[in-house]
Structure 1
Amino acid sequence: MKEKMSTEQLLLGLKHYRRIARQDMLRASETPHPDAFLKHAEARREIYAALGDYAGAHAPEDVVTHALELYRQLPFVTGSAEHEYPEVKGHENALENFFLLVGLDPKTRREARSKRPKLAEVTSSEQPAGTQA
């Protein structure tokens, strides 16, 4: 973070982002892929709420560290169709918005991004034993 943010500032920013996601949920039916758009907005709202809850019990620096860990766990879905993987893309978008909110150094975000698993790695690890992806 470039400048220290108070927990109150952090919560206020997350609340603002939650409102935007809520507005997007309401207008999902007007989009070319309403189900995907709705899931994307719900996923963003979920991340903002989770980070807000975490911020209620932790210092702002710890919230950033937690958000970076969540970001590292997201699989890459870049290059997929716009309406595919809306939950993953929503989580990614929400975390990247959060990093902008707190003024996270772009290099730190790039380093975290470089540690993210490929989608194939995640889906193959979720396959039951003895099956192929």
Structure 2
Amino acid sequence: MTEGVQERRVGTEPRYEVFHTDCLARDIVDHVTSRWGIWVLISLRRDSLRFYELRESIQGISEKMLAQTLRALVQDGLLWREVEPTTPPQVTYGLTEFGREVGEPLSELFDRITRRLSADGTQDDEPQLRSRT
């Protein structure tokens, strides 16, 4: 067992102990499901984008948070990063194969939610939920 990585063997595939704080899989899940990680993966689902195109597509994200999120997702192997040596440098990001695999169910979830909502933000065919008081 690698130090800091909690895994156990089940059959021939290693299984990670995702509830253990040192689990590598848990770190990746934390990055993907962070406040901005999901939006980055969904924004890149159709095409690669430059840094500022990503920032414009994800309203409300600061440059600092976008840079931190992109750095973590690149490090996790979900995104690739390409720097063009221009002044200023143009940096483009896209999904790796792993990023496409992880992003697919997130995109599907996003699509299901948006299809379910009507133009005024309420659900189309379900009664609205009432809060319990």
| Structure-1-length-normalised TM-score | 0.33
1 or 2, which has the higher helix percentage? Answer: 1
Compare CA radii of gyration and give the structure with the larger one.
2
Structure number with greater CO (CA < 8 Å, separation at least 6) is: 1
1 or 2, which has the higher strand percentage? Answer: 2
| Structure-2-length-normalised TM-score | 0.33
